[in-house]
């Protein structure tokens, strides 16, 4: 049997009350900006433990992307703000971001990009891999 909660009819009052109570989880997300995102991948192979840490720092026109980028064990790259796609190339992913978020990327040569934080950094993509015997 389903929980009685699936039958509770919402009211304008109940909505306001629950949103007030739960808004903290929405606000907390704003504190999580990812200038440097790290993915930790683990796997086992012939008794060896593999751990791969991958860091992405991505810039477009000198401005850093702040969303979370991750990579799965099969090597596909994904980016939270673009949740239904994964890519074999981080470059292809960023190309898609430029197409998907036109409001955040000004026409080249016209200045700043809305929604993107200006922060000069060097562009790096680093991975570290290691293994240990068990």
Partner 1 sequence: MAITRHNLLTNDAVRQQYAQGVNLLKHEFTGPTTTSVGIPGPSQPVSTYDLFVVWHHTAMSTMTPLTQGDRNAAHRGPIFCPWHRFMLRQLELNLQRVLHDVSFGLPYWDWATDGQKTATRQKKSKVWAVDAMGGSGNPVKTGPFTFNAADPTSFRIRIEADVNGQLVQRAHGLRRALGTLVSTLPKKADTVGALALTPYDVTPWDTSSSGFRNRVEGWAPPATPALHNRVHVWVGGDMLPSSSPNDPVFYMNHCNVDRIWEAWLTQHGRDYLPLQRAPAFLKGHRINDLMSSLLSAPMRPADVLDMTSIYVYDSLAV
In the bound state with partner 1, the residue whose beta carbon lies nearer, of 14 and 126, is 14
Among residues 112, 89, 114, the alpha carbon closest in space to that of 103 is found at 114
> Could you give the C-alpha distances from 81 to 42, 47, 65, 66, in angstroms and in order?
24, 37, 11, 10
Q: Is 58 in the site for partner 1 (CB under 8 A)?
A: no
Residue 123 CB, shortest distance to partner 1, in Å, is 17
Give the shortest CB-99-to-partner 1 separation in angstroms.
8
Total number of residues that touch partner 1 (CB under 8 A): 61
Q: How far apart, in whole angstroms, are the C-alpha atoms of residue 126 and residue 59?
A: 14
Could you say which of 47, 83, 108, 130 contacts partner 1 (CB under 8 A)?
83
C-beta of 57 vs 71, nearer to partner 1 = 71
């Amino acid at each position: 049997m389903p929980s009685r909660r699936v039958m509770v009819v919402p009211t304008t009052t109940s909505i306001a009350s629950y949103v007030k109570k739960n808004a903290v989880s929405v606000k907390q997300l704003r504190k999580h900006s990812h200038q440097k995102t790290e993915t930790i991948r683990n796997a086992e192979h012939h008794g060896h433990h593999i751990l791969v840490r991958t860091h992405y720092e991505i810039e477009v026109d000198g401005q850093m992307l702040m969303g979370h980028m991750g990579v799965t064990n099969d090597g596909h790259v994904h980016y939270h703000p673009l949740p239904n796609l994964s890519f074999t190339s981080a470059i292809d992913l960023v190309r898609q971001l430029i197409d998907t978020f036109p409001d955040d990327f000004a026409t080249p040569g016209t200045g700043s990009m809305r929604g993107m934080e200006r922060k000069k950094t060097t562009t790096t993509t680093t991975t570290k891999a290691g293994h240990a015997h068990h």
